[in-house]
Amino acid sequence: MRFVVVTGMSGGGKSTALKMLEDAGFYCVDNLPLSLVEKFVELISMPNSEISKVALGLDVRSDQSFRDATRILGQLKQSGCTFEILFMDADENVLIKRYKESRRIHPLAMGGRVEEGVRRERQVLEDVRKSADYVIDTTHLLTRELKEELDRIFLKNEEYNSLMVTVMSFGFKHGIPVDADLVFDVRFLPNPFYVEQLKEKTGNDIEVQNYVMGFPEAEIFMQKLVEMIRFLIPNYVKEGKYSLVIAIGCTGGKHRSVTLAKELYTRMKDKGEYGIKLYHRDVTNPGK
């Protein structure tokens, strides 16, 4: 029997992950009090049970003494129970935004600010996150991309990539992404905005790509950037980092940054033990 414990930050996508696992054939139970976990495991482990795949959702709303989760899960392992822990996470600012948009009350806000609840919850879940087999950061993941990641892990049984790399293009006129780990400025390259036939196009168009990458400086920059990123990634993985956001910016986030981000993504994908996705933050924003 494959047994997956699904937990994580409120607003991180736990409920969505459980629904996707249910669609994939898992018997799913959500919000079970910690005091009933051992009994639940005993029941699903009975010899005559026809259940072969189980996903159990645990979060801070199920029990105020969630710190006991580590102890209970440790006892299960000692008793011979085999399970995997899937931890759903997201950037703090994104979690706060999701809660404010849904107008829900954070379970640990205690009538106060959402920000306080999120920070308190992260402290409570710290030990469980450290012991997780899989940590999925949904900060920039689309629903489709989350499903692909879960299918890869739990259906296709492919090797799990602990680090998710997001290559992001942006425009400095719209602000530097607050969640960026590495920021690169490509405004040193000629701007296609001032070329009449390219002005209304973006870095998603081949004409703009050919223009930008036609300059020797662009190719030299890309070679040096790829070399540095390939050096950094294994060291980030070794230090336990789960999410890396590489932000490439130009003036408006439509031409040069989009082109270079796409080029970096193309050269980095399928080249190592990490997941990678491409995100254009400002490509539809007006301006240069």
The answer to whether residue 286 is domain-embedded is no
Claim to verify: residue 239 and residue 199 sit in the same structural domain:
yes
pLDDT for the residue 286: 66
pLDDT for the residue 287: 54
pLDDT for the residue 270: 77
pTM: 0.68
Burial 194-213 (b: 16+ CB within 10 A, else e): eeeebeebbbebeebbebbb
**In terms of Cα–Cα distance, which of 28, 82, 36 is closest to 56?**
28
Among 154, 175, 210, residue at a domain's last position: 154
CA dihedral 219, 225, 231, 237 (to 10 degrees): -130
β partners of residue 56:
5, 29
3-state helix, strand, coil in the chain (%, to 5): 40, 20, 40
Q: How far is residue 177 from each of residues 8, 154, 172, measured CA to CA in Å?
A: 24, 32, 9
Ranges of the chain whose pLDDT falls below 50 = 62-63, 288
pLDDT for the residue 276: 87
The answer to whether residue 120 is domain-embedded is yes
pLDDT for the residue 130: 85
The answer to whether residue 285 is domain-embedded is no
Claim to verify: residue 206 and residue 224 sit in the same structural domain:
yes
Q: What is the CATH number of the domain that holds 140?
A: 3.40.50.300
